[in-house]
Amino acid sequence: MRKIKLTKGFLKYALGSCLIECGNTKVICAVSMEETVPSFLKGKGKGWITAEYGMLPASTQQRNAREASKGRLTGRTQEIQRLIGRSLRAVVDLEKLGERTFWIDADVLQADGGTRTASVTGGFVALAQACERLIAKGILAGNPIRDYVAATSVGLVDGKLCLDLCYKEDSRAEVDMNVIMTGSGRFVEVQGTAEGRAFNDRELASMLALAKKGIRKLIGEQKKAVKLPLK
């Protein structure tokens, strides 16, 4: 597993923020709040958490074209955005947010694999900082966060189990799995994909076990930055 570093409060103007570094992968996660909810939640006394994801064009070894210039988001970006939002909603009591939307922006400065899982892990810290501040100001009455949540990838590379895949490993992996887990060790999301060859039950079990080990370590880092329950 690569070295991880979480810098809470990396941005001055965001309500909450975190720079997460996993080896050479660096992602800025930021939280903004809006006093409104999407139309399907209007009048239900609940809040919402939604995420947007982007990569700086120069974050990768080959420049990747700016989605703002192309005028449309790729399928990959949309998939990642939905994943981040779903993962964070899974550990938050939406009623306690009030009728507000929390935007999680994950922007990749440098990409060496694992940007989507880093966005979940770092996004949690940014969201927790935002909630700490809102509780301190009396805007939130109580703590809406129920548990930690973090994510990592595992895979089979050249037939061997591998944790926290960097770009080079990821592009050669036969199987690639993203796992998102809470502090209490329960799964929020499990996404295993055969790239080269299909996998069997035993391989699935080994990958899950390794992923859990990695996530426990990531949550250990989160605990240094954020103490639950928030108050």
Q: How many chain residues interact with a copy of itself (CB under 8 A)?
A: 64
At 225 the three-state DSSP class reads: helix
Q: Please tell me the distance from the alpha carbon of residue 95 to that of residue 152, in angstroms, as a whole number.
A: 28
Residue with tokens 């037939």: 159
Decide: 87 and 149 in contact? Cβ < 8 Å.
Answer: yes
Decide: 164 and 150 in contact? Cβ < 8 Å.
Answer: no
Task: Identify which of residues 74 and 227 has a Cβ nearer to a copy of itself in the complex.
Answer: 74
Task: Identify which of residues 70 and 160 has a Cβ nearer to a copy of itself in the complex.
Answer: 70
Contact set for a copy of itself, span 74-93 (CB under 8 A)? 74-79, 81-82, 86, 90
Q: Which of 18, 28, 49, 154 binds a copy of itself (CB under 8 A)?
A: 28
Q: Please tell me the distance from the alpha carbon of residue 60 to that of residue 109, in angstroms, as a whole number.
A: 9
Task: Identify which of residues 41 and 190 has a Cβ nearer to a copy of itself in the complex.
Answer: 190
Q: Does 43 bind a copy of itself (CB under 8 A)?
A: no
Residue with tokens 């799964």: 187
Residue type, 148: Y
| Footprint on this chain of a copy of itself (rule: CB under 8 A) | 11-14, 17, 24, 28, 30-32, 34, 52, 54, 56-61, 63, 66-69, 71-79, 81-82, 86, 90, 103, 105, 107, 109-111, 177, 181-182, 184-194, 197-201, 204, 208
